C-alpha cells in the first residue's frame, strides 16, 4: 500500500531524521554501466559488495540489480543481503532514491524528489536518466510506505540534516541554474522546510573541488550529531580545496542551528590529492552523452563521504598516507560505533563514495 499524498511531510508532522539515528535497513544499487565503471564494472562491483557486507553486519541491506546483473549480484552477495531486480541508469541511490521521513509515532513515509542526473540537459552526467527517475518510487512501493512527490529537483546527497530542524547544503548545488532555475534561494528553502521538516538551512558555499555533482554537501561536510559537523580539510594553501574548506568552516562557526546552538567543526584531512590514472581511464567505455573520464582528472576524494550505520561507520579507504588518521578521528567522533574502512578507490573513480551509494531507511 503506497498512496501518493498531496500534503507535505511538515504539514503532516513528519521529519527527516539524522543519519545517526537508528535504521531498519539500507538500500544500495549494483554498479554496471561500463561508461562509468572501468573493466566492465567488475572492480567497482567488488567494492560495492564489500560495502554491502560491511553494512549488513549493522542493519538489513537490500541490493538493487538490473535484469542483466541480478543473477551475478545474487551469487556474489551473501544470503543476508536481499537482492531485488530494478532498472537504473547508475548506482547512486543516495541521489536517485527516496528520502524517508518519520513522525515519531510509528509512521514512516518517503519523499520522491525529481531527479535529472546532476544537472539535466545543462551539465548532467549522462543521458537518459529515465530509469533513475523511477528508482525512488519503486523503492517506496517495495517498502509499502506512502509517498510525497516533491516538485523540486534535488538529490539526497545535496542535503544533510541533524534531525532537530537544521539542514546543511551548498549554494553551488542547490542554487545552481542547472537544478531549479526558476526558484529563488527563499523558494528552495521553503521546499526544504516542507519536505524535510527542517526550520533552518545553513548554506555552505562550494562543494569539494572537482566534485561533478555540482558540489554535494555529503562529500564536504556531515552531521556527526546535532551541533557537531565533520568537514573535509587540507592544510595545503596551493590546493583549490584550501579556500573551499576554510569558507565552509567560517560559515559553520558563525551559524546557529535550529535550536540556537553554535556548531562545533571537526576537520578530517583530505586524502591525496588523487588523480585518475591512464590505466584506469583506459578501462572505461566512451559513450556519447556520458561525461568522459580523462587521465589526470582530479578525483573528488573525501573521507567525509562515509555511511553512518546503526552500529557501524563505514568509511572509504583512499590513501595509505591518511587512512589511519581519518579512522582515528572518526572513531573519536563516534565512540559508540565501530569504524570500519573499506577500499573505495573504484567507487571514487565513478564519481562518488560510500555515502553516495547508500540510502538508509530510518527505524520507526
Which residues are identified as catalytic? 356
By CB atoms closer than 10 A (0-12, 13-18, 19+), residue 171 is middle
Closer residue to its own copies (CB): 29 or 230 = 29
In angstroms, what is the minimal distance from the CB of 364 to its own copies?
18
Q: Which listed range, 37-45, 138-146, 200-208, 319-327, lies at the site for its own copies (CB under 8 A)? A: 138-146
- Nearest approach in angstroms of CB 11 to its own copies is 19
Shortest distance, position 120 Cβ to its own copies, whole Å: 20
Residue 297 carries which DSSP code?
P
Which cell goes with 352?
Answer: 562518488
Query: Which residue spans within the chain are E strands per DSSP?
Result: 4-5, 23-29, 60-65, 82-85, 99-102, 108-114, 146-153, 160-161, 166-170, 200-204, 221-225, 228-233, 264-269, 307-308, 312-317, 338-343, 359-362
> In angstroms, what CA-CA distances link 129 with 124, 135, 215?
9, 10, 20
Displacement of CA 185 from its chain's centroid (Å): 22
Residue 122 near its own copies by CB under 8 A: no
Least Å from the CB of residue 32 to its own copies: 13
Selected from 106, 144, 260, 296, the binder of its own copies by CB under 8 A is 144
Q: Does 175 help bind its own copies (rule: CB under 8 A)?
A: no
Quick one: 135 or 204, whose CB is closer to its own copies? Answer: 135
Among 21, 53, 57, 131, binds its own copies (CB under 8 A): 131
We find the least distance from the C-beta atom of residue 241 to its own copies, in angstroms, to be 40
CA triplet 348, 56, 219: central angle to 5 degrees?
30
Q: Determine the interface stretch with its own copies among 67-75, 111-119, 188-196, 326-334 (rule: CB under 8 A).
A: 67-75
Give the per-residue contact string, 79-118, with its own copies (x = CB under 8 A; - = no): xx-xxxxxx-------------------------------
Which residues on neighbouring strands pair with residue 359, listed in sequence order? 27
CB burial of 57-76 (b: ≥16 within 10 Å; e: otherwise) equals ebbbbbbbbbeebbebbbeb
Give the binding site for its own copies (CB under 8 A): 1-4, 60, 67, 70-71, 74, 79-80, 82-87, 131, 134, 137-138, 141-142, 144
Amino acid at each position: 500500500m503506497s498512496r501518493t499524498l498531496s500534503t507535505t511531510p511538515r504539514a503532516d508532522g513528519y521529519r527527516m531524521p539524522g543519519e545517526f539515528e537508528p535504521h531498519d535497513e539500507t538500500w544500495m544499487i549494483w554498479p554496471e554501466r561500463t561508461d562509468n565503471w572501468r573493466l566492465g564494472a567488475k572492480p567497482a562491483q567488488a567494492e560495492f559488495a564489500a560495502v554491502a557486507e560491511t553494512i549488513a553486519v549493522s542493519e538489513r541491506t537490500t541490493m538493487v540489480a538490473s535484469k542483466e546483473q541480478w543473477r551475478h549480484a545474487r551469487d556474489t552477495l551473501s544470503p543476508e543481503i536481499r537482492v531485488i531486480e530494478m532498472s537504473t541508469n547508475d548506482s547512486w541511490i543516495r541521489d536517485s532514491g527516496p528520502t524517508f521521513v518519520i513522525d515519531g509515532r510509528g509512521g514512516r513515509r518517503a519523499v520522491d524528489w525529481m531527479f535529472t542526473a546532476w544537472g539535466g540537459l545543462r551539465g548532467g552526467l549522462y543521458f537518459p536518466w529515465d530509469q533513475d527517475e523511477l528508482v525512488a518510487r519503486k523503492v517506496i512501493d517495495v517498502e509499502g510506505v506512502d509517498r510525497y512527490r516533491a516538485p523540486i529537483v534535488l538529490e539526497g546527497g545535496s542535503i544533510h540534516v541533524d534531525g532537530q530542524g537544521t539542514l546543511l547544503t551548498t549554494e553551488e548545488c542547490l542554487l545552481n541554474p542547472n537544478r531549479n532555475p526558476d526558484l529563488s534561494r527563499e523558494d528552495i528553502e521553503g521546499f526544504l522546510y516542507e519536505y524535510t521538516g527542517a526550520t533552518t538551512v545553513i548554506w555552505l558555499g562550494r562543494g569539494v573541488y572537482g566534485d561533478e555533482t555540482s558540489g554535494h554537501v555529503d562529500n564536504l561536510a556531515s552531521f556527526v550529531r546535532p551541533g557537531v559537523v565533520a568537514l573535509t580539510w587540507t592544510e595545503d594553501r596551493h590546493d583549490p580545496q584550501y579556500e573551499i574548506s576554510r569558507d565552509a568552516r567560517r560559515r559553520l562557526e558563525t551559524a546557529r542551528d535550529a535550536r540556537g546552538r553554535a556548531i562545533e567543526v571537526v576537520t578530517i584531512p583530505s586524502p591525496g590529492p588523487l588523480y585518475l590514472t591512464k590505466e584506469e581511464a583506459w578501462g572505461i567505455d566512451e559513450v556519447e552523452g556520458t561525461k568522459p573520464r580523462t587521465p589526470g582528472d582530479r578525483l573528488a576524494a573525501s573521507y567525509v563521504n562515509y555511511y553512518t550505520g546503526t552500529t557501524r561507520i563505514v568509511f572509504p579507504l583512499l590513501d595509505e598516507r591518511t587512512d589511519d588518521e581519518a579512522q582515528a578521528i572518526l572513531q573519536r567522533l563516534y565512540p559508540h560505533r565501530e569504524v570500519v574502512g573499506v577500499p573505495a578507490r573504484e567507487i571514487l573513480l565513478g564519481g562518488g563514495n560510500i555515502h553516495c551509494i547508500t540510502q538508509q531507511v530510518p527505524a520507526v
